[in-house]
Each structure stands twice: as structure tokens, then as C-alpha cells.
A and B are shown apart, each in its own frame.
Chain A
Amino acid sequence: MDATVDTPATPPAADHRRPRGTGVTRAPDGSLVVRVSGGLSARLDARSVTVTLVTLAAALLVFAWAMTLGDYPMSLGDVVRTLVGQGEQRHEFVVRTLRLPRGLTGLLVGASLGLAGAIFQRIMRNPLASPDIIGISNGAAASAVFVIVVLGGSSTEVTWGALLGAVGTGAAIHLLAYKRGVSGYRLVLVGIAVAAMMTSITSYLLTRAEIYEAQRAVVWLTGSLHARGWDHVRSLAVALAVLVPAALALARHLRVLDLGDDAARGLGTRADRARSGLLLVATALVAVSVSSAGPISFVALVSPQIGRRLVGGSSAALVPSAALGALLLVASDLVARRAFSPTELPVGVITAILGAPYLLLLLARANRIGSAG
């Protein structure tokens, strides 16, 4: 058809819209853009950064407060002095060997769970997506309980056992689900089958154990930060130093993966690879967290949701979720340690008790908006 149509010529860009070559401007998604000469530019989401910084500050405050509480209460001044090396002898052990590594483990585990949860929810485009489905936690649990009950291992040995279990289970699930590529659905189903086998092993070991070993196992299974030492902190720090940059590097692909696989491919992202890479990083984060502290429920589910509401925008944001996870975990651990004093509850109990009302809140919102089932 060649009927001429009145096509207006492209109007000259209005002056106030002409892009600035250098300096600071705003991108369409609301983030700040900094441009320097040479054509380089970087993008920063101001709100995301603010939320992250505030949350981290809160987490550090709670962390500091937690250091002062316990069977040997001390003032913040005492804590600081001990850290600097000028504290009293009796505080040394408590601060340096007990509370400091425990608090740091809490921060790091919380951050990895928050990050992993955000990645999962983004990729699966489902606010209920949680790393627990894939069965890796169950594998880690089975190995950990094995080490506790059969080998009578120390805390560090349990951690390594759990990590081996997680990696082994992850690899097994992937291999079993692989058939000319991995389909998400097949992965989930195989994960469920493998998880069931792992849970069976755990139940079996629990019935065959001595009661005190069984108790130790149950504590681990609920998720606990008890007696987490510098070994844990070191391994977590190393793991995060590798995984977090990897996650951030792959995160830019999320912007187009959000639009669906076909659109993402059309925009130059190798959708399968990007997704597999991100899932691998998220799974590794979960494996490391579960090995260090047991399967702690809800942090991975709830942090991205809260993050999304605070930051605004259309999808879960990675870094704020990590910060929120850290805050959530240290706060829960504080409650777990002190609420039933002198008995100490595992932190997993508290996160579940906090998480359940949150899910119900989500439910209430869904009701009000009247979402269709």
C-alpha cells in the first residue's frame, strides 16, 4: 500500500530534553546517571542505595547491642575496648571467641540468604519462590545429621559435611534432570524426589541416634548460630567474596530477563546461560548458608519482598535484600538468645515465628486487592 500518510518529520529534541554529555542526570527507571568524558557512564539507583545503607546501619546497631547482652552483660564501652585490645581479661573470651564471630556469621548468612532469595524470586517471577524447593537444603541436612550422629563431629566438621552434602545433592539433581538441556519443571520434580530421599535419611538417623546427639541434630536442623566461630566467618567471607561480585555481574541481565526469554534473547542476552549462571550463584549462596547455620526458614523468602516494598520499582532488588537479610537474622538471633533466658532457642524458630505473620499479611493484602487464585 502506498497511500501517502502524513508522517511528521522527527521534531528536534526540545532543549530541556537534550541529553547532557557529562555530569549527572536521571535515567528513565529513576536511577541517577553519572557521565564522564570519554563516553563512560554509570548508573546508581539512589533509593536502593539509601535503603541499603540505612538497613546496614541498623544491622550494625543491633549487632553492637547484641554484643553487650548475654550471660555476661557488659557495656558498649567494654566491647569496644576489648575489640581494640585494651579490654579486661574476662571480656576477651566472651567477646572475641563467642559473640563477635557469632554476630558476624549472622550478618553474613543473613546477607547470603537475602541475596539468594532475591535472585530466585526475580528469575522465577514469583514472590513465593524460595530456594528451599530445590532440595539442596535437605541434602545438606542429611549430611550434617550424619556427621553429628554417626561421626560425632565438631561444629566445623558438621559445616564441611553439610557443604559436601549440598554440593553433592545439587550436582545429583542437575545430572538427573539433564536431558538435552534442563527444563525448570523437570528440575523441580527431580528436586522433590531427591529431597524426599534426603529427608528420609535424616529421619532414619534421628531414630537411630543417642538422645543427646538427636537433640544436637534437631538444633542444627532448625537453624542455629550457636557456637559459630571464626572458621565459619572465614569460610563465609571467602565464599561471599567470590559469589557476591558474580551475582552483581550477572545482575544486569536480569533487566532483560524480566521481559521474558524471547525478548531477552532478542536483546542480546543468552537467556539460558544468564539464568543458569544466576541460579548457580544463588544455589551456592544457599549451600554456604545452610552449611554454616542450618536451614533457616523465611529469610530468603521475606527479605526480597520487604526490599521491594521499600525501594519501590517493579522487581526484587538484590543488594537491599541482602542488607535486609542481614538485619533480619541478627535481630532474630538476639531474640532467640535472650527471650527464653537462660535457655537459648535456635534462631530458626524465631525467623519462622516472625515470618508466618508476614505471610499472613501478604495474604491479607492479596485479599483486599482481590487477587484471583
Chain B
Amino acid sequence: MTMTSASTSSSPLEARDLRLAYDDRIVVDGLSVSIPRGEVTVIVGANACGKSTLLRALARLLKPRRGTVLLDGRDIHRLPTKQVATQLGILPQQPIAPEGISVADLVARGRHPHQRWLRQWSVTDEQAVEDALQATGMADVADRPVDELSGGQRQRVWIAMALAQGTDVMLLDEPTTFLDLAHQIEVLDLLHDLNRRDRRTIVLVLHDLNLACRYADHLVAMKDGRIVAEGPPREVVTAEVVEDVFGLACQVIDDPLTATPMVVPVPNGRRARPASEPAGAPDPALVNGHR
């Protein structure tokens, strides 16, 4: 595949005019997107808007009915699978950890694309696993079974595996779902650090819009299989866009700690508290009801 214009050569991962479908149901049609190099891109949208489907197509897990996905300017479906695996890593939604497997063993499996018949465990492999464990803070628990770890730790192990794979681009499909808030932050901080440290291109699907605003350099908002808005969070996340994409009435303020956009949903009439009342005062409606 010939390299195309300079503007596309700066994007490691790109989709052009994609049509994606499951059986007869078209989920995404005519979608084009260009993932910026070396930044954290987050894809957001309501349930079933096609964000996971898009990620899977970018990760070569789903073959588009029409259109192409380009990895460094070349059609991803024409490249050998192993080669793609050395450039692009994916952490899918529900990875399976074999029962009883140790942390180090699982991370080591990330080296699979680099291994051959007679290069089964090279020095590079060993070093890569070591580095990955250090970077994710999992070196201390390297010998423990993955089953025994907390949700946040387990997710970090999977990220370590993707890290050991040694790719420039990492795709993660909802890596924070089912984690409590502290663990969500832990995982997202780690990804942010990896991006800043190595200038890795990271693409995430998140469903928490506020966290997405905090961590994304580039935000992609989707609705019904189309991209509604794209750009830095500050530009993308406005009350109008949120209403359009999520159907949620809200106010967008600045996060008091990070100055990124923060979405505050508008409460319905019953729950709204007048601004003048302090938080601790009893709700007048309830007090009357007690009678």
C-alpha cells in the first residue's frame, strides 16, 4: 500500500467511510475518523451507539462491510496478523484469565507476537515483561495468581500484558467498567502516565463522561453510529452536545481541580434544592410530610 498524503501519515490509525454490521443489522455507516498520534483519545456515547463496534473495527476484530481501516497508512486487513500485533494492542471487554495463572505468566503471554519456533523466550521478551511489571506497579505481586487480585489490580495486569506486547498503539474497550471509583482512577492514571512517558497512542472507550473529559486529549462523541463531535474536551463537551448525544439536560462547568469540563445533570423538579439553603438543612417538603 502506498503512503498517502502527509496529513494521514501523521495518524497511526485511521478509518475511512466505514460500514460495520452484525448479521443484518448495520451499526455504523459512512464513518471516518483519524486517531491523533501520541495522544489519549476517548470515545464516548450512549449505550449501543456503536463505540465498542468502532473500536473493534479499528482493532481488526471486526471486518468492515465497506470502507477501510488504515494502520500507519496501510490497509489493516491486508497486513499479516502477526505484524499488526506488533504495532497495535487491544484490551478487549471481557478477557479470560485461565484459572490459577500467575501475574508474570499472563503478562508474558503478551510477548506472543514476537515469538517464533526457535525464539521462545528471548532476552528481549524477559526485559519487556520486567519493564511492563515495573511500569504498572505489579512487580511485587508477579508470582501471585491473578484470581487473588482486586479488580483494579487485575485490570492493571491486563494493561501490563498489553504493554509487554510493545506496541505503539493501545486500544482499550471499557477498561474501567465494574471497577469502583478509586480503581477507575488508578487505571486511568496509569494509562495517562504511559501516554506521557512513552508518547504511546492510546484509544479508550469510556462511558463515564466526566472521567473522559479529565483524561482525554482528544474526545470523540458518537450517536447512532455517527460521530457527532470530535476534538479537545473543552470544545466538544457543551450542554448542547451532551443533550444531543446522551439525551441528558445538564450544565457544563469547570472541574474545580483540573479545569476540564464537568457535566452536572439537571435534577428534575422534586429533587432540586434552592441554592440559598445549606446542604445540611432538612428538605421542607419532607418536614411537612412527617406530620
Contacts and interface: CB of A to CB of B under 8 A. Distances in A.
B52 to A, nearest CB: 11
A125 B107 CA distance: 20
B189 A267 contact: no
A263 B95 contact: yes
Contacts of B104: 28-29
Given A5-B192, A19-B127, A28-B142, A268 B82 contact: yes
A255 interface: yes
Nearest to B23: A180
A1 B260 contact: yes
Contacts of B131: 10
A1 B113 contact: no
Interface in A259-305: 259-260, 262-263, 265-270
A27 B108 contact: yes
B85 A266 contact: yes
Contact of B85 (A13, A33, A262, A268): A268
A372 interface: no
Contact of A28 (B105, B122, B189): B105
Contact of B92 (A3, A29, A255, A263): A263
Interface in A1-52: 1, 3, 5, 7, 10-11, 13, 17, 19-21, 25, 27-30, 33, 35, 39-43
A268 B193 contact: no
Contacts of A265: 59-61, 81, 90
Contacts of A260: 92, 94-96
Given A255-B109, A262-B92, A10 B85 contact: no
A315 interface: yes
Nearest to A125: B96
> Secondary structure at chain A's binding surface: helix, strand, loop or mixed?
loop
Nearest to B107: A28
A13 B94 CA distance: 32
Interface in B75-121: 81-86, 88-102, 104-110, 112-113, 115, 118-121
Contacts of A314: 98-101, 105
A313 interface: yes
A92 interface: no
Interface string B195-224: 011000000000000000011000000000
Best-buried of A25, A255, A267 by chain B (most CB within 10 Å): A267
A28 B127 CA distance: 12
A5 B195 CA distance: 12
Best-buried of A41, A263, A265 by chain B (most CB within 10 Å): A263
A258 interface: yes
A206 interface: no
B92 A266 contact: yes
Contact of A1 (B88, B115, B214): B214
Contacts of B129: 28
A145 B72 CA distance: 60
Contacts of B165: 266-267
A190 interface: no
Nearest to A44: B120
A60 interface: no
Best-buried of A1, A10, A21, A33 by chain B (most CB within 10 Å): A1
Nearest to A8: B134
Nearest to A42: B120
B60 A33 contact: no
A30 B143 CA distance: 10
A256 interface: yes
Contacts of B81: 265, 268-270
Interface in A292-332: 313-315
Given A1-B258, A260-B95, A265-B60, A33 B109 contact: no
B123 interface: yes
Given A262-B61, A262-B90, A3 B258 contact: yes
A11 B131 CA distance: 9
B252 interface: no
Interface in B183-199: 189, 192-193, 196-197
A268 B79 CA distance: 11
B33 interface: no
Contacts of A11: 134
A279 to B, nearest CB: 18
Contact of A41 (B56, B119, B134): B119
B88 to A, nearest CB: 8
A30 B101 CA distance: 11
Contact of B59 (A1, A3, A252, A266): A266
B25 to A, nearest CB: 15
Nearest to A256: B112
Nearest to B104: A28
Contacts of B91: 263, 266
Contacts of B260: 1
Given A10-B134, A266-B88, 17 more contacts: A5-B193, A13-B130, A19-B127, A19-B130, A28-B107, A28-B108, A28-B142, A33-B121, A41-B118, A41-B122, A259-B96, A262-B59, A262-B92, A262-B95, A263-B95, A266-B91, A267-B109
Interface of B: 56, 59-61, 81-86, 88-102, 104-110, 112-113, 115, 118-123, 126-127, 129-131, 134-135, 142, 162, 165, 189, 192-193, 196-197, 214-215, 258, 260
Give 7 closest A-B pairs by Cβ, nearest first: A268-B85, A28-B104, A262-B92, A268-B113, A266-B90, A314-B98, A19-B126
30 contacts: A7-B196, A10-B134, A11-B134, A19-B123, A19-B127, A20-B123, A21-B123, A27-B126, A28-B107, A29-B102, A29-B105, A30-B105, A35-B121, A39-B122, A252-B115, A255-B109, A259-B106, A260-B92, A262-B56, A262-B90, A263-B92, A265-B61, A266-B92, A267-B89, A267-B165, A268-B81, A268-B85, A268-B112, A268-B113, A269-B81
